[in-house]
A and B are shown apart, each in its own frame.
Chain A
Amino acid sequence: MMLRVAVAVGLAFIYIPLIVIVIYAFNSSKILEWPPPGFTTHWFSQAFKDEAAREAFFTSIKAGIAATAIALVLGTLASLAVARQRFFGRETISFLVILPIALPGIVTGVAISNTFTQVLDVPLSLFTVIVGHATFCIVVVYNNAVARLRRLSGSFEEASADLGAHTWQTFRYVTFPGMKSALIAGALLAFALSFDEIIVTNFTIGAGEQTLPIWIFSNLFRPHELPIVNAVAVVMVLISIIPVYLAHRLGGEDAGAPGRGGGGGVETEATAVP
């Protein structure tokens, strides 16, 4: 009983500010007074018409997809090495991979930006943003992949080799299918991370471009634009229900792997968090 109360209070804490955002998105007045005077859907239509917002949205999507792709490749490679091999410095990899996300974003952002502009003479652009995002997204994919690989017994791969499959075939027909859902869950989380990132992006983005968080930041204090920002935020949450649900369902699927832990708990790598 007490548990249910605690859960309810916690959930209320999580959702009340979000409800406030939704209310303001329908607020008829531009000034954020409380309680809001009227109701309107005007801001949503404005949001769709806003060219800068649309461009920022697509820029964020492009950056997210590219960063996630890079993180997928690098994270999977690293996880295969760590979970299936033994070598000097193996424990360091986990430590190394988490550094970009554990250290302050401003440090990561400035370091990468400096290297590009001062050492490599590469101007800042969407490319440099993608590099920055991929760096801290690796850990999400890596964690999910390692957690899954640890539960998939290595004996399947040995059996495959015994049956005459070479390395790629084993990976393609045995390892990868087992990892697939964990990788998808990791990819979705990595995309979410990249999509909402502001600090590193601030330092690595070029002059003429904006990702969605940068657009939001530049409009957050403009009284005329703020209601549109709220509308955009609400739309983003609604759209994201689908991938979040997918991540959970996929992360929970455990086709063929011997489950660990009694009690029938569904192991969800979707919860191997950013």
Chain B
Amino acid sequence: MASEAVLRRRSAGHRLAGLFHGRRRLQIGALLAGPIGWLVIGYLGSLALLLVAAFWSVDPLSGLTVKEFTLENFEALFNEPVYRTIVWRTIRTALLVTLTDAIIAFPIAFYMAKVASRRGKALLVVGILLPLWSSYLVKVYAWRTLLSAGGAINWALEPIGLHGPGYGTTAVWLVFSYLWLPYMILPIYAGLERIPNSLISASEDLGASPFTTFRRVILPLSFPAVVAGSIFTFSLTLGDYITPRLVSNDQFIGNVIFSNIANNQPFAAALAMVPIVVMIAYLLVARKLGAFEHV
């Protein structure tokens, strides 16, 4: 029969596709097996193994983990005031950096999205992305030399009687703002692009000043994109330990985790819970604000 002949000529791929046809669960399962396996079993599993150590302790001489349940790490974390100082310093810097980057990024992103010509847009996008390709370490070190006592910043400011910030918390804020700026510009740019120009024209037609148009039309529509960008500026600042080490003496959360990871992994795991909890909370808020569509 003709239909049998057709059936016999189906390729292996065709038959396999037939297996999936109509079976939605199987399709979803096959698609997700790889990614979920990797992320849940591999990544989350590894995280769980690390974090469970927070409930253990360490033998002071050998540095070997003592796998008995204890809350002493968390007690130390809450009782010693220095950890509160460090956590607050890190979060505060992350928020400041996010704010700074949002302020610097917005005009650039707006210009790219709404004002620049097609060529200009391409040039600017390339121009913004290019610094991402120069090594993070080299950029931080460049700032280190800029900020040093004999560096370019002091060289430029001293003739007019001013003084550069030198190394310290201000330097850390400056460098972080510098490093993560492209990560803020690009999502805002993408978000602004999606705002139809007709909306802006309509607002102007109705008599709004540029500032009012910005405040009541552009900003609310682009806010989720700003939040999307903030996910990166906030999280990258929260966990970084290299920049604070290179341009300051400050201890950030990452620094204390790093200095404890060798000889006291349980304590480091307890410390690590702090940025994880903070970050998950931040992500949940960001998702509520619609950032996940603009990431």
Contact = CB atoms under 8 A, between A and B. Distances in A.
Q: Do chains A and B make direct contact within the complex (CB under 8 angstroms)?
A: yes
Contacts of B151: 34
Interface stretch (B68-76, B78-86, B180-188): B180-188
Given A11-B108, A166-B14, A166-B17, A106 B28 contact: no
B107 A7 contact: yes
Interface in A235-274: 236-237, 240-241, 244-245, 247-249, 260-263, 265-268, 270-274
Contacts of A114: 46, 49-50
Interface in A105-122: 105-108, 110-112, 114-115, 119
Interface stretch (A18-26, A41-49, A175-183): A18-26
Given A34-B155, A73-B34, A261-B193, A217 B137 contact: yes
Contacts of B122: 245, 248-249
A222 to B, nearest CB: 12
Given A213-B135, A230-B138, A233-B134, A78 B18 contact: no
B27 interface: yes
Contacts of B235: 101-104
Size bracket of the B interface:
35 or more
Interface in A26-58: 32-35
B133 A216 contact: no
A236 B239 contact: no
Q: Which of B21, B47, B111, B268 has the most CB of A within 10 A?
A: B47
Contact of A18 (B111, B125, B134): B134
A97 to B, nearest CB: 7
B58 interface: no
Contacts of B240: 104-105, 199
B295 interface: yes
Contact of B146 (A14, A20, A245, A274): A20
Most central of A85, A167, A241 by chain B CB within 10 Å = A167
A174 to B, nearest CB: 14
Interface string A78-111: 1011000101000101111111111111111011
Interface in B224-281: 229, 231-232, 235, 238-242, 253-254, 257-258, 261, 265, 268, 272, 275-276, 279
Given A6-B107, A273-B232, A106 B17 contact: no
A64 interface: no
B44 to A, nearest CB: 8
A267 B193 contact: yes
A104 B254 contact: yes
A98 B148 CA distance: 36
B136 interface: yes
Contacts of B28: 81, 85, 87
A20 B190 CA distance: 30
Task: With a 10 A CB-CB cut-off, give which of B34, B43, B125, B146 has the most chain A CB atoms.
Answer: B43
Contact of A196 (B136, B141, B238): B136
B208 interface: no
B29 to A, nearest CB: 9
A94 B276 contact: no
A15 B131 contact: yes
Contacts of A265: 113, 193-194, 197
Given A3-B111, A77-B32, A111-B49, A98 B283 contact: yes
